[in-house]
Structure 1
Amino acid sequence: MASSAPAASERTPLLAPQAARASADSSSEAVSPGGSTTAEPAPADAEAEHEAFERAKEALPLSILVPSILSLFTVLFLAALDGTLTVTLVSSISSSFSAAELLPWLGLSYMLSTCVFSPIYGKLSDVVGRKPAILTALVLFMLGTGLCSTATSMAYLIAARAVAGMGGGGLLTCTSIILTDLLPLRKRGLFQGLTQIIFSIGSALGGPVGGFLTEALGWRAAFGVQVPLLGLSTLAIVIFLRLPPHPSSSGPTSTAGFSSRAMTLLGRMDLLGSLFLVTSLLSLLFGLSLLSASRLPFSHPAVYSCLLAFPLLAAAFVYVESIVKEPVLPLRLLRQRTTVCASLFYLLSSAAITGLFFHLPLYFEAVLLQSPRQAGLHFIPLSVFTSLGSVGAGLYMKWSGRYWWLLLACNVATVTSTAYLATWNERTSDIGTWLGITPCGGGAGAYTIMLVAVISSLGRADQAAANGLIYLMRGLGQVVGLSLLGALFQELLATQLNARITGPHARETIERLRHDTTYILRLGDKLQKEATASYAFAFRGMMLAVTVLSVLCILLGMGVREHSLGGEKKADEEGAPAGPAAAASQEERA
């Protein structure tokens, strides 16, 4: 540690010239009790390399930048469209195959596959390049979607959705990585907000498009019509996507044959580490999915076998990553404070949001006795404010170069909303139900901020792996939210129904109420009141758990360090107070 390095304080300019984003294992850091840090200077060549790459981004002409970003937006749009489009096909698919008991696995197979393969694409993009990686994801997504249109059984369809998920995970991860390579750090948050808008539009259109195609041509056509659109998107990526050259990037100068180069690339892919990563995640996610999709108890052999296998396979993964030269997920990322806090934030926040979104319609339909259409309308302001929150966070970071206090404000807004939702009952006012969930949309800016925080704290060598880790934790959080919060809701609901509904045929009534919310409308006034009260109690209990997770997200956000985002405006020169974490404005190498 250089003894002459000055300790940073809260008055250290945030937008001072940046040190290089060298790898975490190439520098060290001392953290004082007050939170300030000092770090050894990064090597001069690494600093020059970083600055040269940032200059290359700034100099990228609009004639290259605009087509590149638009081609990426088409990918995001189609991925979002597919997600909600598939949901509208469930009823028709169930009728075709008479396999309603397997329907939960139709969505879960895609979700599990997406989650498991997201981190693999980070390494793949480093080894073969950004464009080949996203093209690989597009081909797999297109192949899986095409197979769905030819499915002859429910098992076939579930497997086809898993193949599509192998590509879907790469679409999101690679798009995030490529945008980071295309855009200067100060503009990255703004464009992340724009991607949220594109994704929201695709998600909003998926339902109506899926319903129209199903009624007009059948559910197979709803999958089939996506294939030529994905083909056009693939062609757009091939033609229009161009990336700025990186100083450390050297083209394929080897004169070795194709097979020799292919073996070299395979060697760099860390196949053994990838195998243990995939199998460990599958064991965990499959065990959790059995809780939600098949509603098996923890004591079931299939559940605890999967959950017990996870730590063993995860330990093997960690060992392999510690000895290989080019790990698929560098362990040094887990020693970097901002990356760890952000990863845990995405895990807990995704679990909380998934639990909220999945159970919110149940409240409107089973407690307030609204129709699915009325319940769906409540998501419109939430979607609008989610997009506005993301773009607003990006604009603020572009203008000020700061994000720590904004991150805290977004997380507090989310906790305020979830805590209020935890008080909802049968007598909650209509205006309360409309306004209560709105702050959650504004709090979505935290997702954009966290991504920028991670990017600003790492060197380019770790950017792809970090993006893969982030999307892994988001996917894992979705499964956790769906399974554990779903199990909590069902347990509370069953307890309340058993306590409130007694007498002849009570068991049959309770089972029907747990699986069919529309059955409440056919009950007499007394039983209907007991049923709605039971659902309200279960919803409040689940939302209390969501609030606890959201409070933990506040604490994780407070652990994130604030780094320079570059640009002309010196925030401290404007007299703006620095956040507590801005004491680390040199570089983070925790």
Structure 2
Amino acid sequence: MPEETTPLLRDDDSVAKNGRSVTTYTEVVEDGNERNDVEQIEPAEDDSKSMAKLAPTVIPMTIGIFLAAMDQTIVVSSYASIGNEFNQLQNTSWIATGYMLTVTSFQPLYGKLSDIFGRKACLLSAYAIFACGCLCCGLARDMNELIVARALAGIGGGGMSTVVSIIMSDIVPLRQRGTWQGIINIVFATGSATGAPLGGILADSIGWRWAFLAQVPVTLIAILSVSIALNVPKTETGQDDFYAKLKRIDFGGAVTLVLSIFFLLVALDRGGNVSWSDPLTVACLGGFVFFSIFFATVEMKLASEPFAPKRIIINRSLIASYLCNFFGVMSSMCLIYQISLYFQAVRKMSASEAGMGLVPAILGGVVGSLMGGLVMQATGKYYWLTVGEYVGMVSGTLLVTLMTGVLVHSFAGIVVGLVFMSIGNGGGITTTLIALIANAGPEDQAIATAVSYLFRSLGAVFGISVGSTLVQDTLRGLLRKRLAGQDIDIDQIVRRVRESLNYIDELEPNIRSIVRTSYDEALPAAFWFAVVTAGAALVSSWFIAEKALTRK
């Protein structure tokens, strides 16, 4: 039985077989040596690319998309409850960043793995690893075990969206790609909208652990669905030896990327919670610089088949889209993560109420994505659409910031701002993906798509970590300043209120008021950071290269 894969480089040699276009490729490694000729079955003409014929391939993957989306918002709306139970609220950002650490590192690797081992095998493996990670999260006995389990889940999570996106790029015509992405995003938004309130409801009732345990049976359903129903085009690779395939994996690049991001996250966390002059903070910053340079060296010089090759990373027609992904997701993740804390610490909302407050933002994201896809399908263009979307994102983020106390406290204003921000970001992610695929060409679309997920995940890591660092650093300073002269143990209060929001209710009324006011004034530091990074995404969008979108 031939094995399914997408080759790296394409020759311009096409013939027709059984009414379908078959293209012959020569697969090469970075040093230019040919491996073997590969034939890939191109998608047929428009009549066979109808939604009815594409649906049997797409539908089996939607359960995994739903699950990946639900997982993200379940954690956002329940992390305060987790921090309260473990008395480590100041470390709850690591629940998300531990997950994003491995997601970031493995997403680009899945692009290469799917070329070597096949799309379906990689997708099923991702589901299995994710299920194991969720099970371990639900059984975690302390914060450290939970963070490690989230990192394990992230290894699987890195492939759940990336491989699906690559399969979509394989089979869907470029001009219809945005519309199909919008449809997929409806499923994603449904998962996100389900996860946000569900996480809060579970945290307020039977416990946050069920937010993770409940995902295990759903993942098993996803595995069954893909195993039975997903059929993707298969091609001959001429290389069946498993160990030969294993040798082609860029383990050096993966390890150095994980280490560089890990040291950066530890430095940000340590700097925000302890001191930026602390020896461990300085050492971790040094480790980040060292392994970042090492990673670049491995990818540019040493790896025979790098998962982030030079021709994909340093490419003028692609880098603008990558930067839009990086800064846009950084801004949105920072804002969403910290606005949940604002709802609970300042507005005294429960976890479930905070989760419900995020639902309009989730719906805005899917509206933006679907609208962007339909406009691209109708016009075949994406440049001014992308610029307009990021203008909307900047406007929405600025409105949220102003409505959280900078000008006035307004819940309605925050919701409107979140919707505008999400419409802009959701649409921007879709249109920049199409810009990447159009400029990369079919021979590099799998790797380019995977690298775009790398930049998105890096943006999420930076957004969550830097936002949390800014808030914690500012909060610590405000509390020490305002509690000075009080007949209390200042150090204990500063430590406890950053460990658990429940502790605030145990304080004397005057001290409680000081703490909530300090949270109110500390959080805008993260919100303004989100405004700046949204602006950087807008500037990056100006440099995207427009290219005609074909209907084939």
The CA distance in 2 between the partners of 1:209 and 1:526, in whole Å, is 34
Aligned counterparts, 1:239-278, within 5 A: 239-244=228-233, 249=235, 251-253=236-238, 261-278=241-258
Which position in structure 2 is the counterpart of 1:433?
Answer: 414
1:531/1:223 CA distance change after superposition, 3 Å: closer
Aligned residue among 280, 283, 286 for 2:263? 283
Give 3-state SS (helix, strand or coil) of 2:281's partner.
helix
Which position in structure 1 is the counterpart of 2:31?
Answer: none
Aligned counterparts, 1:200-215, within 5 A: 200-207=189-196, 209=198
1:455/1:217 CA distance change after superposition, 3 Å: same
Which position in structure 1 is the counterpart of 2:280?
Answer: 302
The alpha carbon displacement at 1:372 in A equals: 5.0
Report if aligned partners of 1:366, 1:518 keep a CA contact under 8 Å in 2.
Answer: no
The CA distance in 2 between the partners of 1:67 and 1:78, in whole Å, is 19
Give 3-state SS (helix, strand or coil) of 1:327's partner.
coil
1:364/1:213 CA distance change after superposition, 3 Å: closer
Report if aligned partners of 2:124, 2:223 keep a CA contact under 8 Å in 1.
Answer: yes
Aligned residue among 177, 181, 189 for 2:178? 189
Report if aligned partners of 1:88, 1:211 keep a CA contact under 8 Å in 2.
Answer: yes
Give 3-state SS (helix, strand or coil) of 2:443's partner.
helix
Which position in structure 2 is the counterpart of 1:456?
Answer: 438
TM-score w.r.t. the length of structure 2 is 0.82
Q: Does 1:143 align with 2:128?
A: no
Unaligned runs of 5+ in 1: 1-21, 27-41, 569-590
The alpha carbon displacement at 1:317 in A equals: 2.6
Greater shift, 79-88 or 439-448, is seen at: 79-88
Report if aligned partners of 2:76, 2:337 keep a CA contact under 8 Å in 1.
Answer: no
Aligned residue among 520, 528, 535 for 1:551? 535
1:310/1:393 CA distance change after superposition, 3 Å: same
Aligned residue among 288, 295, 310 for 1:317? 295
1:381/1:222 CA distance change after superposition, 3 Å: closer
1:233/1:378 CA distance change after superposition, 3 Å: closer
What percentage of residue pairs aligned between the two structures are identical?
Answer: 32
The CA distance in 2 between the partners of 1:489 and 1:225, in whole Å, is 32
Q: Does 1:480 align with 2:434?
A: no
Q: Does 1:563 align with 2:547?
A: yes
The CA distance in 2 between the partners of 1:371 and 1:89, in whole Å, is 10
Alignment length, in residue pairs?
A: 519
Aligned counterparts, 1:463-502, within 5 A: 463-502=445-484
Which residue identity lines up with residue 471 of structure 1 in the other structure? Answer: Y
The alpha carbon displacement at 1:263 in A equals: 2.4
Report if aligned partners of 2:138, 2:209 keep a CA contact under 8 Å in 1.
Answer: yes
1:364/1:154 CA distance change after superposition, 3 Å: closer
TM-score w.r.t. the length of structure 1 is 0.77
Greater shift, 51-60 or 339-348, is seen at: 51-60
Which residue identity lines up with residue 65 of structure 1 in the other structure? Answer: L
Higher relative contact order (CA 8 A, sep 6+): 1
The CA distance in 1 between the partners of 2:502 and 2:415, in whole Å, is 22
Which position in structure 2 is the counterpart of 1:133?
Answer: 122
The CA distance in 2 between the partners of 1:108 and 1:457, in whole Å, is 31
Which residue identity lines up with residue 262 of structure 2 in the other structure? Answer: L
Q: Does 1:113 align with 2:102?
A: yes
Report if aligned partners of 2:372, 2:431 keep a CA contact under 8 Å in 1.
Answer: yes
Q: Does 1:163 align with 2:141?
A: no
- Higher Rg: 1
The CA distance in 2 between the partners of 1:401 and 1:69, in whole Å, is 23
Which residue identity lines up with residue 175 of structure 2 in the other structure? Answer: R
Which position in structure 2 is the counterpart of 1:6?
Answer: none
The alpha carbon displacement at 1:142 in A equals: 2.0
1:520/1:54 CA distance change after superposition, 3 Å: same
The alpha carbon displacement at 1:202 in A equals: 1.4
The alpha carbon displacement at 1:274 in A equals: 3.0
Can you list the C-alpha shifts for 1:42-95, whole angstroms capped at 9, x where unaligned? Answer: 974389849972536863576652122111111111222233445666678678
1:319/1:202 CA distance change after superposition, 3 Å: same
The CA distance in 2 between the partners of 1:541 and 1:114, in whole Å, is 27
The CA distance in 2 between the partners of 1:83 and 1:430, in whole Å, is 23
Greater shift, 159-168 or 505-514, is seen at: 505-514
Report if aligned partners of 1:58, 1:184 keep a CA contact under 8 Å in 2.
Answer: no
1:374/1:318 CA distance change after superposition, 3 Å: closer
Give 3-state SS (helix, strand or coil) of 1:45's partner.
strand
1:514/1:103 CA distance change after superposition, 3 Å: closer
Report if aligned partners of 1:422, 1:541 keep a CA contact under 8 Å in 2.
Answer: no
Give 3-state SS (helix, strand or coil) of 2:551's partner.
coil
Greater shift, 127-136 or 510-519, is seen at: 510-519
The alpha carbon displacement at 1:307 in A equals: 2.2
The CA distance in 1 between the partners of 2:340 and 2:205, in whole Å, is 27
Q: Does 1:232 align with 2:221?
A: yes
Q: Does 1:399 align with 2:378?
A: yes
Greater shift, 526-535 or 479-488, is seen at: 526-535
1:272/1:334 CA distance change after superposition, 3 Å: same
The alpha carbon displacement at 1:297 in A equals: 2.5
Aligned counterparts, 1:1-40, within 5 A: none
Give 3-state SS (helix, strand or coil) of 1:443's partner.
helix
Greater shift, 341-350 or 104-113, is seen at: 104-113
Can you list the C-alpha shifts for 1:485-526, whole angstroms capped at 9, x where unaligned? Answer: 222233333444445554323636555555555676787887
Aligned counterparts, 1:337-356, within 5 A: 337-356=316-335
The CA distance in 2 between the partners of 1:494 and 1:66, in whole Å, is 53
The CA distance in 2 between the partners of 1:513 and 1:94, in whole Å, is 11
Which position in structure 1 is the counterpart of 2:166?
Answer: 177
Greater shift, 183-192 or 95-104, is seen at: 95-104
Q: Does 1:331 align with 2:321?
A: no
Which residue identity lines up with residue 221 of structure 2 in the other structure? Answer: L
